[in-house]
Structure 1
């Protein structure tokens, strides 16, 4: 049997890829940092005072997070007084795992939505990412909220709560995430919402 040739990844590409994975991992582990990133990614360029006002977080926290994001290489600063902050959309797709700003927005919601925070506390960030997919199927008209429970392995009540909580994630992601169709390759065009949503604003209602 002829062995398959081994294709080596160039050292520079390997370094870049690993650094990118580490950056995404940092955002997945820090919801408040992810929230600043997602807001900047979707609505930038924005100033740090605009981030502070929109997300209602302390000025020092905004400056610290923007500095961290700049060090991670996913935001850039330009201009002077006021400095404008711009974020690059991230995308990780490997072995069936997909992370884009939409997934990071779901992670960020832990900071402002008790249902999302409770869900992650019980089931973890990986299950939350899977819930984003199920919520997309629901809002594309393919499944009911209760039908999301079995694939996620959670009670139907929790499935209903998380699907509702993720509605703004899908609404804003559909409009602003350039990689939205990577998460929903066959149904992205079927996901749509009549009402406006804002990545900075917590969920205000429980409509389905």
Structure 2
């Protein structure tokens, strides 16, 4: 007799949703953690030594971050010597708020990009997410870099800098984020770049 499928109750759905929101909040607050998650999500399965080499971070940091991500339930460890790290792409869509690996990658860029770091320090991660959307409109050919400034309510120079800095997150996300069109439901296929970015390369190379 086949096992009977058990549907979740509304309370269980609420619990799962809140837990996922808390997990995403943790990643948004800890860009170094988000960076390891995004790497595993895009380029996994990957061993911890591979993550260490690709992201150029200490071995102990990799082990700590992977352990935290596993405890959060968003990466899995499989195999034995070497253990491989895999991650499923997260998606949060509620009340106009959208978070996918592309958004998490954009936030994680502050670990390696001074322009993104400055932008986050000045405006916060919410503004980065808004900038991702505006950058997508620009790379889809719908607005100029200068036109990004008004909806974000930031100086023109900062708008130009953040649009350029977010190119790697959009380029890699377009290739590897299965939820990319959730952020850009009307223009995902129109986004393109004048110069090629090596989206198959580890994140530090694609972020340079």
Could you say whether these structures have the same fold, taking a TM-score greater than 0.5 normalized by the shorter chain as the test?
yes
Q: In 1, Cα distance between the equivalents of 2:180 and 2:153?
A: 25
Who is 2:6 aligned against?
A: none
1:75/1:86 contact within 8 Å kept: yes
2:112/2:204 contact within 8 Å kept: no
Q: TM-score, normalised by structure 1?
A: 0.92
1:47/1:82 contact within 8 Å kept: yes
Alpha carbon RMSD of aligned pairs, Å? 1.1
Q: In 2, Cα distance between the equivalents of 1:185 and 1:202?
A: 24
Matched residue pairs, number? Answer: 196
Q: Which runs of 5+ in 2 are unaligned?
A: 1-8
Who is 2:204 aligned against?
A: 200
Q: In 2, Cα distance between the equivalents of 1:156 and 1:202?
A: 25
Q: In 2, Cα distance between the equivalents of 1:37 and 1:181?
A: 20
Within 5 Å, give how 1:35-46 maps onto structure 2.
35-46=35-46
Q: Which runs of 5+ in 1 are unaligned?
A: 1-8
Secondary structure at the counterpart of residue 129 of structure 1:
helix
Within 5 Å, give how 1:54-73 maps onto structure 2.
54-73=54-73
Secondary structure at the counterpart of residue 201 of structure 1:
helix
Who is 2:3 aligned against?
A: none
**1:11 Cα shift?**
1.0
Who is 2:12 aligned against?
A: 12
1:89-111 deviations in Å (ceiling 9; x for gaps): 00000000000000000010010
Who is 2:84 aligned against?
A: 84
**1:55 Cα shift?**
0.2
**1:202 Cα shift?**
5.7
Within 5 Å, give how 1:182-197 maps onto structure 2.
182-193=182-193, 194-195=195-196, 196-197=198-199
Secondary structure at the counterpart of residue 85 of structure 1:
strand
Who is 2:74 aligned against?
A: 74
Who is 1:53 aligned against?
A: 53
Q: In 2, Cα distance between the equivalents of 1:203 and 1:26?
A: 22
Q: In 1, Cα distance between the equivalents of 2:116 and 2:167?
A: 11
Q: TM-score, normalised by structure 2?
A: 0.92
Q: In 1, Cα distance between the equivalents of 2:205 and 2:35?
A: 11
Q: In 1, Cα distance between the equivalents of 2:205 and 2:104?
A: 15
Who is 2:117 aligned against?
A: 117
1:128 aligns to 2:128 (yes or no): yes
1:126-160 deviations in Å (ceiling 9; x for gaps): 00000000000000001110100000000000000
